[in-house]
Each structure stands twice: as structure tokens, then as C-alpha cells.
A and B are shown apart, each in its own frame.
Chain A
Amino acid sequence: MRFVYFARVREAVGMDCEERDVPVTVHTVQDCLDWLRQCDGRYAAAFAEPARLRYALDQQMVTADTPLDGYGELAIFPPVTGG
């Protein structure tokens, strides 16, 4: 799966995107966050405040309980602040 990060999350993770093989035990966006947090302290720091995180699967906004089935790209970012 391809992971992409934006803004504060991108800076905390230390990269804008990466490819990772997701373990079979990871089914939802929330599972992904929990798994990445355990992989490295940078993710734990980047995802420390779930209330300030938003997610998109293949560029469609989703909630944390959404299954990853069939999607290729998970984006993790803070609430948007354009305009």
C-alpha cells in the first residue's frame, strides 16, 4: 500500500510518501495507524492526536473505521486550512 502524508503529519513522519506491505491483521484505517505507531516512534508522534487527523483512501475522505479492501493509497493529514 502507498502511504502519503501532508502538512504537520508529513513533517512529523519525515517523508511525504512511502510504499509498505501491510500485515494481514491490518483491516481498517485505524488498524493501519495502530500498526504504524508500533513500527516507529515518529508515527506515534505524528498520530498522537487522532482528533486532529483526517484520512483519504484513493483520494476520497473516509473515517478511521473504513476497511482498506481494494484501495491502493491511504493519505493521512490534519484538518484542511485552505482559502
Chain B
Amino acid sequence: MKQVAVTAEPISTAMALDPLEHLGGGALASFTGIARADCGVVALELEHYPGMTEQNLNALVDEAMARWTLLGCVVIHRVGKIAVGEQVVVVATAAHHRAEALDACAFLIDRLKTDAAFWKKEHRTDGSALWVEAKSTDDARAEKWSL
């Protein structure tokens, strides 16, 4: 079972976990990214490349399902304006045992950060808005999953 979605509507961890709960596995893992109130940030704005972004996410899910024995994989990413405290991304995996579910979940969020066509802007209390720069620490985490 796999599901990939890019949506401008609010998302939740439960939305991603629900379809994975009854696949017969003994393990569910998930990661939820939440908009943080760093240095006066009041909202994030996420832009994507319709078509390419979904292809990027599907390729990551296919790679995870080829590398680990998984029963299911869900990736839901929100786009548009996202207020502090709201969810930006949810990645969830189901497997027979925890190791596969946890490793695949970490792989998916680490590689999503560097491989999927999304761009993030921070809106601040003073009315300014700044594009977030890519981080070398994210590249290093993604690189760890290279075969």
C-alpha cells in the first residue's frame, strides 16, 4: 500500500497513520514536521513544482519499499501558507517489525528534505518574509542513506 499527497488543506498525523493500521503489521512509525516559531516566525509558505514534486515523492516511496520489507508507506506534504503550530509534512510506514518501519521512516524524511521539489519561505511578525536556505546538515543526513 502506498499513498503520496501534496495538498493545500490542513494535514494530520492521523490521516497518514489510518490507512496503515490494519495491514497486519506489528509496527507503525511516523514523522511529523510542524511549523516552528523560530525568531519571530508566524507562518511558513511552501511552494512546489506540480507534477515533479509528486514524482519525487513517489520515487522515494518506491525506493523505500524496495530497500525495506514494508506493508505500506504514506507521505503527505502541505503547501501554501501554514501557521506556526500546524503540520507541514507527515511520513508514515508500516512493517512486520519496528526496525524496518523506523529505518524507512527516517530514510523518507531525510531524503524528502534534499530530493523533493519544495521551497519554504518564513513570514515574520515584523511583516518581512525570507526564503529558507538549504542546509549542509540536511545534505549530510540524506547522504548517509546512499548505498
Bound-complex Cα distance A79 to B116 (A):
10
Q: Is the CB of B89 within 8 A of A80?
A: no
The answer to whether A56 and B132 touch (CB under 8 A), given A82-B89, A82-B113, is no
Size category of the A interface is: 10 to 19
Instruction: Tell me if B12 counts as interface (CB < 8 A to partner A).
Output: no
What residue of chain A has the Cβ atom nearest to residue B131's Cβ? A8
Q: 1/0 per residue B95-135: CB within 8 Å of A?
A: 00000000000000100111111111100000000011110
Q: 1/0 per residue A48-83: CB within 8 Å of B?
A: 000000001001000000000000000101111111
Size category of the B interface is: 20 to 34
Instruction: Tell me if B52 counts as interface (CB < 8 A to partner A).
Output: yes
Instruction: Tell me if B145 counts as interface (CB < 8 A to partner A).
Output: no
Instruction: Tell me if A6 counts as interface (CB < 8 A to partner B).
Output: yes
Instruction: Tell me if A4 counts as interface (CB < 8 A to partner B).
Output: yes
Q: Would you list which residues of chain B between 1 and 39 have a CB under 8 Å from chain A? A: 33
Q: Is the CB of A83 within 8 A of B134?
A: no
Most buried by B among A75, A79, A83: A83
A: residues with CB less than 8 A from B are 4, 6-8, 10, 56, 59, 75, 77-83
Q: List 9 A-B contacts (CB under 8 A).
A: A8-B119, A56-B117, A59-B51, A78-B134, A80-B114, A82-B46, A82-B77, A82-B117, A82-B118
* 18 new A-B contacts at CB < 8 Å, known A80-B115, A80-B119, A83-B112: A4-B49, A8-B119, A56-B117, A59-B49, A77-B119, A79-B134, A80-B114, A81-B113, A81-B118, A81-B119, A81-B120, A81-B131, A82-B89, A82-B112, A82-B113, A82-B118, A83-B33, A83-B109
